[in-house]
Amino acid sequence: MDENRERLMREIMAADFTIIDLNLYLDTHPNDFRAIMLRNNFINRSVMLRNEYECMYGPINAQLSMSKCPWQWIKSPWPWE
Amino acid sequence: MMPNIYDNEGSIPGMQMQAMHMNPQCPCEPCMPMPKLAHAYVPFQCMTCIYPPLKGLYAGTIFPELDRPYGEDPEYLLDA
């Protein structure tokens, strides 16, 4: 796999994991302002990284990614390849 | 963007406990009130710092105080 593509995908997964873990923390600490700010920052970061990835390597997700014509989702390689 | 919150070094469990009590952001001061006999307690987590994203992904948690891989902490093994 393209080295940059792999690095980007790993960073997206890491940012998304951080968001999930902060979600869980906030379920029991709903007034933790710092955790909410951190989560907001990581959501921005995830969106930014996804845009960067999709501009260069195509859609990550068949449901939520914009496509140009022809339909990009079936174009190889898949995000997990 | 938020460099000060990261804990890049592995920390010592005892030190974390101390840091938790000294955390000025902690809403529950002290974190562990005077325990009563015959009551079971779970200390309330107070976020101090978090791992950088990639380290968190590999550790399975972004919270250093919850990063306790099975088998590495002898106290954890006692519960098994």
User: Half-sphere exposure (CA, 13 Å, Cβ side) for B24?
Assistant: 0
* CA within 13 Å, CB half, A36: 7
* CB neighbourhood size of A22 (10 A): 24
Residues of A in contact with B50 (CB under 8 A): 18, 38
Average pLDDT over residues B4-26: 48
**Looking at beta carbons, which residues of chain A come within 8 Å of B54?**
10-11, 14
Report domain extents, chain B.
41-80
Structure letter (DSSP) for residue A20: H
Closest partner CB to A41 (pick from B1, B27, B63)? B1
How many structural domains comprise chain A?
Answer: 1
> Is B19's pLDDT higher than 60?
no
Higher-scoring residue by pLDDT: B12, B64: B64
Q: Mean of the pLDDT values across residues B44-52?
A: 93
Does the reported pTM lie above 0.95?
A: no
Q: Which residue has the tokens 């174009």?
A: A75
pLDDT band at B31 (very low <50, low <70, confident <90, very high): low
Q: Which two tokens stand for residue A80?
A: 């997990």
CB distance B47–A21 less than 8 Å? no
Which residues in B lie closer than 8 A to residue A32 (C-beta atoms)? 27, 47
Mutate to test the interface with B, among A24, A28, A36, A38 (most CBs of B within 10 A): A38
Minimum distance, in Å, between the CA of residue B22 and any CA atom of chain A: 17
Is B13 a residue whose pLDDT tops 50?
Answer: no
pLDDT at residue number B4: 63
User: How many angstroms separate the CA atoms of A26 and A39, rounded?
Assistant: 9
List the pLDDT tens digit at each of the 81 positions of chain A: 689 999 999 999 999 999 999 999 999 999 999 999 999 999 999 999 999 999 999 999 889 888 889 999 998 888 888
Of the two residues B20 and A56, the one the predictor is more confident about is A56
Phi and psi torsions of B68, nearest 5°: -130, 80
Compute the count of residue pairs across chains A and B with CB atoms less than 8 Å apart. 44
- Which residue blocks in chain A are alpha helix, DSSP H? 3-28, 33-57
CA distances from A54 to A7, A51, B49, B57 (A): 13, 5, 31, 22
The residues that bridge with B50 in the sheet, in sequence order, are B6
